Amino acid sequence: MRNPLYNGNFFVWIGFVVISGVLWFLPIAVLLFAAEYSLIVRYEEGVLESTFGREYLDYKHCTPRWVPEKPDEPAPGPHDWREAWKSELSTFLGYVVLTAAFVAKDLFLYRS
């Protein structure tokens, strides 16, 4: 798929709504996510098309935007997991802060 990070963000959004216990907000979160990321992806795809031209259009044609498909054969080349973790450190730290905020909320609300 072309947007694995955004798909992951969707599940994070949904996870935080579920963890917060405010389940009535779930459909609103889905709609907000769909609206925000549809605009972001359309903009980014326009930039990629103007930057890479035919090469990106060919990639776009054979790679689904949101729903993953199993590739016919594995992707060639090295995969550096250490670099991937390093590049996403701020994202993981954000998750830690949000999780700590939810835990602190529960401790504060249920302490009384």
Q: Kindly state the average pLDDT of the residues 76-96.
A: 86
Q: Kindly state the average pLDDT of the residues 2-22.
A: 91
Residues 53-78: pLDDT tens digits? Answer: 999 999 999 889 988 888 788 878 88
Residues 13 and 55 reside in one and the same domain: yes
Residues 92 and 64 reside in one and the same domain: no
Residues 47 and 13 reside in one and the same domain: yes
Residues 44 and 3 reside in one and the same domain: yes
Is residue 84 one of the residues assigned to a domain? yes
- Confidence check: pLDDT of 95 > 80: yes
Is residue 74 one of the residues assigned to a domain? no
Residues 85 and 62 reside in one and the same domain: no
Q: Compute the mean pLDDT over every residue in the chain, rounded to the nearest whole number.
A: 89
Residues 21 and 43 reside in one and the same domain: yes
Residues 9 and 52 reside in one and the same domain: yes
Question: How far is the C-alpha of 93 from the C-alpha of 106, rounded, in Å?
Answer: 20
Judge whether 56 and 48 are in contact, CB under 8 Å.
yes
Question: How far is the C-alpha of 82 from the C-alpha of 70, rounded, in Å?
Answer: 24
Q: What's the domain range around 33?
A: 1-69
Q: How far is CA 45 from the centre of its chain?
A: 16
Residues 54 and 19 reside in one and the same domain: yes
Residues 57 and 84 reside in one and the same domain: no
Is residue 90 one of the residues assigned to a domain? yes
Cα→Cα distances 81→8, 39, 87, Å:
17, 30, 10
Q: What share of the chain is helix, strand, coil (3-state, %, to 5)?
A: 75, 0, 25
| Model pTM score | 0.58
Place 18 in a pLDDT band, splitting at 50, 70 and 90: very high
Question: Can you give the pLDDT at residue 59?
Answer: 93
Number of separate domains in the chain: 2
